[in-house]
Amino acid sequence: MKKSDVVQAIFRQPIPQDPKHEKGLAFAPTNIALVKYWGKRDVELNLPVTSSLSIALLDKGAMTTITLQDQAYDTVVLNNQAIPAHSEFAKRISQFLDLFRPEKKWHVHIDIKMNIPAAAGLASSACGFASLMSALNDLFNWQLTLRQLSILARLGSGSAARSFWTGFVEWHAGVQPDGMDSVAEPLAIEWPMLRVGLLTMSEKQKPISSREAMQRTVDSSILYSAWPKKVMQDLAILKQALHTKNFSLLGGTAESNALTMHATMLASWPAVCYFLPETIAAMHQIWALRQQGMELYFTQDAGPNLKLLFLETDTHHVKANFPTVEIVKVFE
């Protein structure tokens, strides 16, 4: 099954190619997985081995503007910087656009503004592809549903499937080979006291992309066989924590899930290690604070930075212990 087959199955008719507005514009929030997506059962369609569950960061994400242009190529600007056409990033975007223009009749100028560090493990591809997909939908007035947008954005980047909603979002792994059931949906649970703290150790480009690291883990880590079981358990416990508003259970489950994911990576060969000395030092600081009774947990994605998880009542403690932390509300 190819990506273009999925696009065809969703549109069911020739894709409308006439823009309805001068510009397509959309914002998508980035999302932080509390139970992670790590490993694909279908590399072409970005179909995951397991389901995952994330929380959206309300006002952190990507704003994408698409304008048609009278050129035979696309241009991409990220945070006011032109991206070279031959770069991996620009090629990935153009190939994604090709799915929606079988005859290559149109080309676009894409302006992406992200208020998160790109490629430092802060899910920039998630909000990037989600906002790109929504902006295309806006430009051509395709009137796709959020479910359809989630499936289509997943073809660009797996975690983008979860970036169409705020709050808690579950991406169902699905079982169908065409991935029509591998779609995200929001959970009807709010937790206004919940806070996420972004603890940035490095904004440098990561040493290995999450896509490559994920594949290497699946291909070479002996620990990977335990991962689906761990995710299944953690998803059940996390949902229980959400329903009962048990913060220790939420924090502990998210932290343990992230550490297990990184353990599977460390057992890959060559080893995938996203920890910097500063990452480990911060972990020890968090564990020491927990020993003193503070309800503070962390999660970590494919980068050296940590995301702190805590409740509003601990905000001043967190700020006092981590002066550089950027605190983000996750509910209005």
End-to-end distance of the chain based on CA atoms, in angstroms?
41
- Which residue's CB is nearer to ligand 2P0, number 46 or number 137? 46
Least distance from C-beta 295 to ligand 2P0, angstroms? 23
Task: Return phi, psi of residue 300, to 5°.
Answer: -140, 135
Q: Considering beta carbons, is residue 24 or 48 the nearer one to ligand 2P0?
A: 48
Tokens of 85: 């056409």
If the CB atoms of residues 52 and 64 are measured against ligand 2P0, the closer one turns out to be 52
Q: Please give the Cα distance from 3 to 48 (Å, whole number).
A: 15
Q: How far is the CB of 127 from ligand 2P0 (least distance, A)?
A: 11
* Nearest distance, CB of residue 98 and ligand 2P0, angstroms: 17
DSSP assignment, residue 206?
Answer: P
Least distance in angstroms from the C-beta of 204 to ligand 2P0: 17
> How many other C-beta atoms can be found within 10 angstroms of the C-beta atom of residue 235?
19
Query: By C-beta, is 24 or 158 nearer to ligand 2P0?
Result: 158
Q: Which single residue brings its beta carbon nearest to ligand 2P0?
A: 158
Pairwise CA distance, residues 122 & 210, whole Å: 11
State whether residue 171 is helix, strand or coil: strand
Query: How far apart are CB 216 and ligand 2P0 at their closest, in Å?
Result: 12
Neighbours of 7 (CB within 10 A): 17
Q: Which is nearer to ligand 2P0, 94 or 159 (CB)?
A: 159
List of residues contacting ligand 2P0 (CB under 6 A): 33, 36-38, 46, 52, 123, 125-126, 157-159, 210-211, 301-302
Residues 6+ apart with CB under 8 A from 88: none
